Homo-oligomer: A and B are copies of this chain.
Amino acid sequence: MSRMNEQSVRAAIVALSSALIVIGVAPASAAEVRYDPGDTVYFTYCHAHPPAIRIRPGDTVITRTKDAANDVFQPTDKTVFPRLDLTRVNPQTGPFYIEGAEPGDTLVVRIDRIGLNRDWGWGASIPYFGALAPEYKTAMITDPVPDRLFIWRLDRSRMLGVLDLPNSKIGKVEVPLRPFFGTIGTAPAGKECISSLIPGPHGANMDFNEVVEGVTMSFPVFEPGALFMLGDGHAAQGDGEIDGAAIETSFDVTFTVNLIKGKKINWPRLENDRMIMSIGSTRPLIDALRIACVDLVNWLVQDHGYDKIEALQLLGQAAHLEIANVVDPQYSVACQLDKRYLPR
B-binding residues in A (CB < 8 A): 43-44, 46, 48, 87, 123-125, 130-134, 137-146, 148, 150, 152, 161, 163, 165, 167-171, 173, 175, 190-195, 236-247, 280, 282-287, 289-291, 293-295, 297, 304-323, 326, 331, 341-343
Distance between Cα atoms of A275 and B113 in the complex (Å): 30
Chain multiplicity (copies) = 4
Residues of the B chain whose Cβ atoms lie less than 8 Å from the Cβ of A322:
321
Other-chain contact of A169, B139, B194, B242, B305 (Cβ < 8 Å): B305
Which single residue of chain B is at the shortest CB-CB distance from A282?
Answer: B137
Q: How far is the CA of A322 from the CA of B291 in the complex (A)?
A: 18
Contact of A306 with B139 in the complex, beta carbons under 8 Å: no
Least CB separation from A312: chain B residue: B243
State the CA gap A299–B133 with chains docked (Å).
Answer: 17
- Whether the Cβ atoms of B195 and A193 lie closer than 8 Å is no
7 further contact pairs, Cβ within 8 A, besides A243-B315, A244-B316, A323-B323: A124-B313, A138-B290, A140-B290, A170-B304, A192-B194, A241-B316, A243-B317
Contacts of A134 in B (CB 8 A): 133-134, 140, 142
Candidate in A146, A239, A319 with the most chain B CB atoms within 10 angstroms: A239
Q: Which of A44, A125, A323 has the most CB of B within 10 A?
A: A323
| Residues of the B chain whose Cβ atoms lie less than 8 Å from the Cβ of A87 | 190
Chain B positions within 8 Å of A343 at CB level: 169-171
Closest to A239 in B: B321
| CA distance in complex: A144, B125 (Å) | 18
CA distance A237 to B315 in the complex (A): 9
What is the CA–CA distance of A141 and B150 in the complex, to the nearest angstrom?
18
Q: Kindly list chain B residues whose C-beta atoms are within 8 Å of the C-beta of A246.
A: 316-317
Separation of A8 and B278 alpha carbons in the complex (Å):
59
CB-CB nearest in chain B for A144? B142
Q: In this complex, which of A163, A287, A342 has the most chain B Cβ atoms within 10 angstroms of its Cβ?
A: A287
Let me know if B290 and A132 touch, CB within 8 A: yes
In the complex the two chains form, is B146's CB within 8 Å of A140's CB?
A: no
